[in-house]
Amino acid sequence: MEAIAKHCASYVVYAQMWQEGVAEYLAQMGEEAVILISDEWKRGKDNHVIGKFLAILLKLTSLGLSKHM
């Protein structure tokens, strides 16, 4: 995920990534991550890896909503 975020420093790469359907894939992964982390929290476990993934996913998504993109 971090590699994807690093490659999105360029508008061209970012736009191409979304045109190729990566957005749908990331949305599915994000949905599954939320379900998984929710289940683990119910069991009293913390999953920092999934939390970090969700944070990066949100940053990547917000990049597309910024005025620069």
How confident is the model over 11-40, as pLDDT tens digits? 677 777 777 777 788 888 888 888 888 888
Contacts of 59 (CB under 8 A, 6+ apart): 5
Can you give the pTM of this predicted structure? 0.59
| Cα 37 off chain centre by | 14
The pLDDT mean for the chain works out to 76
Q: What residues make up the domain containing 18?
A: 2-65
- Our count of domains for the chain comes to 1
User: Can you tell me the distance from the alpha carbon of 5 to that of 62, in angstroms, rounded to the nearest whole number?
Assistant: 11
